[in-house]
Amino acid sequence: MKITKKIINKIEGEATLKIHKKNHFIEFVEIEFWQYRGIEKYLQNRHFMDALVINPRVCGICGHSHLLATAKAIENAFGIKPTEKARILRDITTGLEIIQNHIKWFYVTLFPTQIKDQSYILKALNLSSYVSKIIALIAGQFPHNSYIIPGGVTCDLTNLDILKVETMLKKLKDEIFNIMDQEGNSEDLEKFFENLPKNIGKSLNRFLVLGDNLYFSKNGSVKKIKEKKTTSLYSNVLYEDKFYEVGPLARNINNPLIKKVYDSYSDSIYTRIFARIYEMNLIMNFLLKEIKNLDVCEPSYIKPTVKNSQGLSVVEAPRGSLVHKVEIENEKIKSYEIIVPTQFNLSNGTKENPSAAQAALIGEKEEYLDSIFKCFDVCAVCVSH
């Protein structure tokens, strides 16, 4: 057995992989994240509203999801429910952030592991910029906007604003169809797999969805999650003492088209990538239906009654289930806990009990390591919160 050390970058930060291999095949991989920022500690004894500004800075890609999770955790602590208008506006911006993430991940993070044509990166950046313009019409600045607050949202769109957003969403839908159409056809996806087997990277075949925003349906309870310390600077996350995979494949596995691909390739790299790209179509269809239900006459904000309590929220973020827990006392944060999707997928288990990413790498050729590892859409900066 030979052990080599590899630094993986272009994953919103960096990770260290200790690769146990025999000949050119991977026997096991230890996953380490060495960064630490201490945001949860930094939040202690601050006013609960400060979390709305601090938490989105956990990540530069999914900051909107952290903002939504923060607001919902505080709302659940205070026992308030925003209006349908606020919920729909939150869904639109959160859905757009997921789409934007998937575009960047596919072309900027994953594509270069197999394709050296840099024009795809420009394609991603142009499309990503267009998504930001739609988000800005509702949420203002992007990234790290602050328009979601406990009780609703700060914006109050007119009918003309809504029409403009809807028009731009329709144009975005056409652009996404050029990446993958409704039938699942994608020239770019097939190009990516020209020299890469589609059936590699099979994992645990265990899927978990804990959030229910957008059209997603949860299949588990956050109460069954446990964190366990590792030798690295982050915690493993288990559900009923087992490792599970979270993310687009987990939350869309019952979609007929994705299920068809899954039946052919199981939970391989191809199925995982296909599900993440096709999810963009599913989200776009949902958002175009939702925007028609927007009632401008509804209140955008309901002032909450502040009280001492605990709140928990789960949001389906771009990479999977995102958990926020807060305890508030005398308007100050007594404790705050964040569990991010990458903790689920990239926990550092053992060879006998591997996490989803570890299981996907065992038995594969070392030359496939980058593509398999990055197909989980890893976010090292979220882990290093």
> Side chain identity at 211, as an amino acid letter?
G
CB 97 within 8 A of CB 135: yes
pLDDT in tens, 105-131: 999 999 999 998 888 999 999 999 999
pLDDT in tens, 314-359: 999 999 999 999 999 999 999 999 999 999 999 999 999 999 999 9
Residue 302 pLDDT level (bands cut at 50, 70, 90): very high
Mean of the pLDDT values across residues 187-212? 97
Residue labelled with tokens 């979220």:
382
Between CA 152 and CA 74 the distance in angstroms is 11
The pLDDT of residue 143 is above 90: no
CB 324 within 8 A of CB 70: yes
Half-sphere exposure of 10 (CA within 13 A, CB side): 16
Residue labelled with tokens 């009632």:
295
Pick the CATH number of 2-383 from 3.20.20.70, 3.40.50.720, 3.40.470.10, 1.10.645.10: 1.10.645.10
Mean of the pLDDT values across residues 299-314? 95
pLDDT value at residue 287: 98
Mean of the pLDDT values across residues 22-37? 90
Lowest mean pLDDT among 74-78, 139-143, 239-243, 249-253: 139-143
Domain ranges within the chain, ordered by starting residue: 2-383
Mean of the pLDDT values across residues 157-174? 97
Residue 78 pLDDT level (bands cut at 50, 70, 90): very high
**Residue 348 CA from chain centroid, whole number:** 19
Q: At what angle do helices 84-104 and 269-290 cross, to 10 degrees?
A: 150
Residue 210 pLDDT level (bands cut at 50, 70, 90): very high
By the 10 Å C-beta count (0-12 exposed, 13-18 middle, 19+ buried), 6 is classed as: middle
pLDDT value at residue 145: 83
